[in-house]
Structure 1
Amino acid sequence: MPGVREARPRRNCCFRECVRDLLVLVRLVRVGGCAVEKGKYGVPLERSDYLPLERHEESCSPEDFRKWLKTHGKGKRLAVDLFSGAGGLSYGVKQAGWTVAAAVDFDERALETHAANFPGMSLHMDLGNPDERDRLVELLKTADIDLIAGGPPCQPFSRAGRSKIRDLVTNHKRDPEDLRKELWRAYMDVVTRVRPRAILMENVPDMGLGDDFFVVRTIEQHLEDLGYATQVRLVDAWHYGVPQHRKRLILLARNDVERFDWQPKQDGFTNLREAIGDLPGLNPQPTERVGKREMPYRMPEAPSAFVEMMRKGAPEGLVWDHMTRRVRDDDWKIFSEHMDSKTLYSDIPEEFRRYSAENFTDKYKKLAWGERSRSITAHIAKDGYWYIHPDEPRTLTVREAARVQTFPDWFRFAGTRSDAFRQIGNAVPPLLGKAAAEALAPMEGVQAQLGGLQPHWRQVREELVAWARERRNGDDWCHLPGEQMSQLAAAVIALLSGAKPSAAQLDEILKDVRWRKTLTSKAFQNLLEAAPSEKVRTRLERLAPLVDDVAAWQENRRLEIPKRLALKPAEASLYRLLVGEDLLWVGQGALRVAARLNDSDADRTNRLSDGRVNLVRLVGAGGEDAPLRMAALRLISNTVCSAREPICSECPLSKHCKRKSDASDVSMTTKGNGESEVKKRGDGKQTSA
């Protein structure tokens, strides 16, 4: 295959690698012809050979990129892969119809792998450096880039730093601090300046779940400002043929049409036997090396469809990189005699345990032939004990791990065995990348909009804000953040949320604190006297610690209130929302409204993951409007969008709802005397408030 040559000692190592190797060799002794390190591990630590790879025959350098565009790149749909690693996403994008014109990463081993397996430029750059980004954008000016893909590291952000982040993004400022911790901004900087037709971002779900999707919402808002329609999905990779449990967050954007057509999910799943069961057995002994760089291979008589796909383009009768580390004698015995796929570490005989069974409940994991693998991560480069072979007393080999990640057998990984494991574990599974990229395929006859799109969800959010502002000026002020909502009023409302007083009772309680900045003894006594029940009074008595404490109610200490009042998590979230903090209030009612507008059942099935994604589309980002929209959704769910009989005709979002109930023409109004007027439903039956 192009890009592969016989393994030999690597030349021109950088200085730090030479120093590292020298330090390792000082600790090594020669045993049986291979370098092994003795120590506490109880097993020789073998240093595998270094696999050097030739560059792809159609690869190019920045100096001859213009020429490449006129030859190999001519007439192709071009893509750029930022933070490319070894090229998992690049290969998925390629399978979906793009040619990767440029890939960028800071990992030299991964880039050597990428350059061997793909045409175009494989660029060693630190995208956290503005000068490097300038150089990249200048290079790409000569190309018609259709897609920018990538998986930038995205750390969740504390609430304290959110306003600063939004300001930096909105005003295109450069943070004087180190950008390496916030590389999603570097990604967005390149996107903003290159303006491709389509964008694909992949990351772990924690990118969203860890901070109320703040970074995701900020990115979406910025893309919408640039005229892109966006879609965020939490995707189970096994739905698209990847034989492992692996959930990923996918953000798509395009400026030609607001449409993202994903292929249907795969029926069933590809199990481990279908994925790697054809590979040669190794049956290792504790004293033997496990596997080889090259081994004979025989295709089974009835290979699975997955195996046929993996073997396409691979050398006949040969499999590469089917090798892994040897294990300790005691672990060899555990794997072979004391474990099956359901065995926990605590189930292992105590005399074989080296770790605390309480702290390391999943230290070892034997995989099962009929199941999916657990998610392959970069940790496999350190040890493979989360990935123990179903039958043999060993961990997965490089080739088996590559298969589970859906890299085909012809795909080689530069460097040592550990380098290969790390590249594989860090990669986007190509089949997942392919499925996501296909949803961005250009549509015949449709061109990118010159002034950009006006996305549907942006329109929905604007209408929601307009409705909320109108309601905030009336009796619903106590449900929405704004000038009238003091910290004291927000605290009172949060404390009473579980008591559920009537609207009239709540008005009576709040009339004396609506505009108050602090809680005096007299105001506190008035609150207690206004309580309509002992239950409500008991809740209001929890305000006692802050009576006559003027400093506690200062604006700059507003986020200390929940702790001072010992608010429960749901109460604290409601308080923070009412004082204007940007958060997702993941209540059942708001999830229900979002699910109905998204034509989804995530409010009943996946509330904390897909349910939140539904909320993200409605809440968005953007100053005071995000908490206002979030509170408005809560208000709608508590008034007109009930679980059983929603009053769709009074819902401000009714025209956008994809799951209107049969009672959509119910219109409940109240007469001046307070009586509920009876209206007829569509089925002719009467209903009342």
Structure 2
Amino acid sequence: MRDDPCRGRNDPDFPDAQDDESGDRAHDAESTFEPEGDLVATYGVKLLRSDLLELEEHSDSCTEAGFGQWCADKVAGGRRLAVDLFAGAGGLSLGMVRAGWTVAASVDSNSFALKTHRANFPGVALAKDLAVPADRRSLIAMLQRAEIDLIAGGPPCQPFSRAGRSKIRSLVAAGTRPEHDERKELWQAYLEVVLRVRPRAVLMENVPDMALGDDFHVVRTIVDRLERVGYRTQLSLVDAWRYGVPQHRKRLIVLARRDSDHFDWPEPTSDVTLHEAIHDLPRLRETTGAREMSYTATAHLSEFAKLMRQDAESDRLWDHMTRPVRDDDREIFGMMTSRTLYAQIAPELRRYKTGTFDDKYKRLDWGERSRSITAHIAKDGYWYIHPEEARTLTVREAARIQTFPDWFRFAGSRSHAFQQIGNAVPPLLGQAAATALRPLPSRPKRRINQWRLMQNRLTAWAESHRLGRFWCLLPGDQLGPVTAAVVTLLDPAPAELRTFNPVLAQIAARDRITDSALAAFRAQSVRTGAIRSLEALRDVQDGPVVLDEPENLPAVLEMKPAQTALLRLLAGDDLLLVTQPVMRVAARVLGTASDRVNTLTDGRVDLARLVGGGADAPLRMAAIRLIGQLHCAPTEPLCTQCPLRPRCAYGQGSKPASLLF
């Protein structure tokens, strides 16, 4: 659930960043402390350190030892229990509560986030590192003593780079790394907890970059593992603003359940502007606000503001405090509108290179949504300049934009609060996702998993064609590193294989290019550039690049990115090949327009759904590429010959009622 990890204190891109108690751009100023009560500091103070907010634990908290009985009592009272792993301050926890669950346990390693969670939620909040086997085992043992209905969380998923996977395989083969390392990546730890506890429902959330960065390898692996033990799953890229979150924010959501294959999300709500979100909060004028101040509701309070004020003290407001601003920056703020770019600021006022920082400062607009609130706000609030006043957002304003209600408090300093808010899942988004996992009034009969059927069909089709004319376009043992590289450099169309196959078979027999093979390709009028690359491959085929480190072949042969991707696919690497024919196949099967709109986001989600995960994923990916070349033409596709036609929306002439990942 780590949305945008704060940069290091000495990061050269943020030369003014201070420790987590400092004010914005205040490194060269005098230090002082914030007055208590309703007294506030003025902008004459350049560095302002906030107090540390200590919060009491929730009155219905429990201990790890008493967890089993506490849960039994809740279940006896008709409660559904949820667990939040990597919980942070509890944005996802609050969403689950609003959707009808009781959060029985949460896990995090950040001390201030744990204090925040313990104050705002019942149950037990545990300081554990789930990458550590002992911590993982103790948590699983505790959860197995209770009837857990839902496990949720946003594991910090560092994408597996393809080079990283190759390196791990080589270390295992060399005996310098165990095949099964008990200290796991956090997404693996999350998955192990889920598979051992086996709740009815699972919710996983993360930023889209986590998936896009490694061709959805991690996500497809998670989904494949869940489905193999009986879960039905759904993968979505969700715009948070569709569920009442007043900011531009897209999240990756994986849902899974064992009791049904229905995922009924609530209807999207009306768009919420920044004016509706925070305009009722008091103006600070020439101050930095305070921990506590009086609040008077405006005459025309928006529905969003009414929701945020529910259960808050009617005349009090908490944590409406921001950092001080340098005088020169305050002058700049006064000249800016929401359309002003940093490069448009007068040169004598700029302190950063415009080529590096094109959006260093960003003033928000009352009539629009906010830019996405991330953990970066803990170090630098200048991406979030108030729409009207010459200052950055307050803790309470940032919390509102993330949809934390006004009664929700954050332990620690002002910067600790900003970090917790920026790392959080917006509670209203969490509520929408959790709503799709509610138990159904009557348990409908589960349908056959359409995605499994389609993936099995793709695998069988590819395996049969690997024995025939298209053997060299599908990964498998028949393609050694040299042969795969030759096919990549030639990139033959299916119709050309009748000519190329005899020579390719000769190369595959020894996984070597011979002079006679090169002569045959020249006689077949292979383009000059490809011949030169084949000659370069011949010259290195007996060296360590091919024999020991074939992943370095693309660099040695100066392959273009598209060639590199194809080579790795033919070598059996698990990746998504994003080409127009491939995206067309995925969009037509699903009945979407993702091959024409949002190809690199929604289009890749569609492709990930179709390819799936597991050992045969590379074979299915290559099969989809081949189907795009053979059957799924832009016009007049040969649907009758396509193996996907029985499950294809386009081939059937209509959209599918429901397809499950």
Q: Report if aligned partners of 1:518, 1:549 keep a CA contact under 8 Å in 2.
A: no
Partners of 1:239 and 1:367 lie apart in 2 by 19
1:38 is matched with which residue? none
Matches within 5 A, 1:232-247: 232-247=235-250
Q: Report if aligned partners of 1:197, 1:448 keep a CA contact under 8 Å in 2.
A: no
Deviation string for 1:326-346 (max 9, x for gaps)?
10111111111x211111112
Q: Report if aligned partners of 2:639, 2:645 keep a CA contact under 8 Å in 1.
A: yes
Residue aligned with 1:604, SS: coil
**1:377 and 2:374 are equivalent in the alignment:** yes
**1:433 and 2:435 are equivalent in the alignment:** no
1:16 is matched with which residue? none
Q: 2:619 aligns with which of 628, 643, 646?
A: 628
Residue aligned with 1:63, SS: coil
Q: Report if aligned partners of 1:478, 1:485 keep a CA contact under 8 Å in 2.
A: yes
Q: Report if aligned partners of 1:381, 1:422 keep a CA contact under 8 Å in 2.
A: yes
**1:559 and 2:565 are equivalent in the alignment:** no
Partners of 2:352 and 2:560 lie apart in 1 by 37
Cα distance change on mapping 1:330 and 1:554 into 2, 3 Å: closer
Cα distance change on mapping 1:487 and 1:62 into 2, 3 Å: closer
Partners of 1:601 and 1:424 lie apart in 2 by 35
Partners of 1:619 and 1:483 lie apart in 2 by 20
Deviation string for 1:617-673 (max 9, x for gaps)?
2222222x1111000001111111222222222111111112326599xxxxxxxxx
Cα offset, 1:32, TM superposition: 9.1
Partners of 1:103 and 1:341 lie apart in 2 by 39
1:615 is matched with which residue? 607
User: Which deviates more from structure 2 when the two are superposed, residues 553-562 or residues 584-593?
Assistant: 553-562
**1:462 and 2:456 are equivalent in the alignment:** yes
Deviation string for 1:258-288 (max 9, x for gaps)?
2222223335x2111111111111112xxxx
Structure 2 letter corresponding to 1:310 = M
Q: 1:100 aligns with which of 77, 89, 103?
A: 103
Cα offset, 1:584, TM superposition: 0.8
Q: 2:181 aligns with which of 175, 181, 190?
A: 175
User: Which deviates more from structure 2 when the two are superposed, residues 114-123 or residues 133-142?
Assistant: 133-142
Partners of 1:295 and 1:43 lie apart in 2 by 20
User: Which deviates more from structure 2 when the two are superposed, residues 386-395 or residues 210-219?
Assistant: 210-219
Structure 2 letter corresponding to 1:262 = W
1:331 is matched with which residue? 329
Cα distance change on mapping 1:29 and 1:439 into 2, 3 Å: closer
Cα distance change on mapping 1:663 and 1:606 into 2, 3 Å: closer
Cα offset, 1:470, TM superposition: 0.6
**1:495 and 2:489 are equivalent in the alignment:** yes
> Which has the higher Rg, Structure 1 or Structure 2?
1
2:277 is matched with which residue? 275
Cα distance change on mapping 1:30 and 1:220 into 2, 3 Å: closer
1:9 is matched with which residue? none
The CA RMSD over aligned residues, in Å, is 2.8
Cα distance change on mapping 1:294 and 1:346 into 2, 3 Å: same
Partners of 1:247 and 1:542 lie apart in 2 by 42
Cα distance change on mapping 1:118 and 1:599 into 2, 3 Å: same
Q: 2:188 aligns with which of 164, 180, 185?
A: 185
Residue aligned with 1:547, SS: helix
Cα distance change on mapping 1:33 and 1:442 into 2, 3 Å: closer
Cα offset, 1:613, TM superposition: 1.2
Q: Report if aligned partners of 1:224, 1:455 keep a CA contact under 8 Å in 2.
A: no
Partners of 1:551 and 1:144 lie apart in 2 by 59
Partners of 1:505 and 1:298 lie apart in 2 by 81
2:569 is matched with which residue? 577
Partners of 1:278 and 1:311 lie apart in 2 by 11
Residue aligned with 1:616, SS: helix
**1:112 and 2:103 are equivalent in the alignment:** no
Deviation string for 1:27-71 (max 9, x for gaps)?
98668968xxxxxx9953212122221222222222332342244
Q: 1:358 aligns with which of 347, 355, 358?
A: 355
User: Which deviates more from structure 2 when the two are superposed, residues 550-559 or residues 300-309?
Assistant: 550-559
Could you say which structure has the greater relative contact order, defined with CA pairs below 8 angstroms and 6 or more residues apart? 2
Cα offset, 1:512, TM superposition: 4.4
1:304 is matched with which residue? 302
Partners of 1:334 and 1:92 lie apart in 2 by 38
2:637 is matched with which residue? 646
Q: Report if aligned partners of 2:494, 2:629 keep a CA contact under 8 Å in 1.
A: no
TM-score by length of 1: 0.84
Structure 1 letter corresponding to 2:443 = V
Q: Report if aligned partners of 2:87, 2:107 keep a CA contact under 8 Å in 1.
A: yes
Aligned length: 615
Partners of 2:520 and 2:71 lie apart in 1 by 77
